[in-house]
Structure 1
């Protein structure tokens, strides 16, 4: 709506398929950085209390993985399926995942997903493959 992605890059700098991949990234990052109960009209939007997850790492990583899958499939309508792999945690992060997301119309996109000590989630576009039509 503003003409820019969350990182400030202009939408018109990209072709339509890349715009879709980056828009999905922005929405996923917005969802993962929201906490359940923060929106009165969507009480289950976002993730639960991450401090509980962080306290019980590494055992709780699988719980968070399932929660991410459920939440994203519910609130990102362009996702057809999602596969999350727990990765070796990057330096300075609390937890790292690779999310492979199959989109209904655009193709496959892979994100490096990192949970930071300050409670934020950062997504990095790793790979985007457009569907062949």
Structure 2
């Protein structure tokens, strides 16, 4: 199965797109993107049975920026390694942005369970949800 059980049960990816509207080959990538969007938009401690699911409170990250940006980078990597088993060899690096923009962007490089290499841009903005999207030839 290329889509997660959550995607199959709901019938849609996190962006609302029906699972059946994409080819089998695209389902794995879109399902991973959906899972990462859900993971990164959940605040750590809000899921009772998984207290480490999600990321730290972004208000703290922005308040303590730029020092906390590296802590967020580590949290992103650890969250992916823990809660997205379809990705291997995860690397996360921060992309430089204007320090006054209240925006943090990370590039995630990894290998899908089928061996395909993928790259995602993950953007965190003040007062908005995190957005994960594939970049490069994987769009």
Aligned counterpart, 1:52: 60
Whether 1:61 aligns to 2:69 is yes
Larger % of helix: which?
2
Pick aligned residue for 2:27 from 19, 28, 34: 19
Aligned counterpart, 2:82: 74
- Aligned residue pairs, count: 129
Aligned counterpart, 1:112: 121
TM-score (norm 2): 0.82
Larger % of strand: which?
1
TM-score (norm 1): 0.85
Aligned counterpart, 2:133: 124
Q: Is the 8 A contact 2:93 2:108 kept in 1?
A: yes
* Shift in Å, 1:88: 2.6
Q: Is the 8 A contact 1:50 1:119 kept in 2?
A: no
Separation (CA, whole Å) in 1 of partners of 2:20 and 2:79: 29
Bigger relative contact order, structure 1 or 2 (CA pairs below 8 A, ≥6 apart):
1
Separation (CA, whole Å) in 1 of partners of 2:34 and 2:48: 22
Aligned counterpart, 1:2: 10
Moved over 6 A (4+): none
Q: Is the 8 A contact 1:32 1:47 kept in 2?
A: yes
Aligned counterpart, 2:106: 97
* Shift in Å, 1:14: 2.1
Point out where structure 1 has 5 or more consecutive residues left out of the alignment: none
SS in 1 for 2:60: helix
Q: Is the deviation greater in 5-14 or in 54-63?
A: 5-14
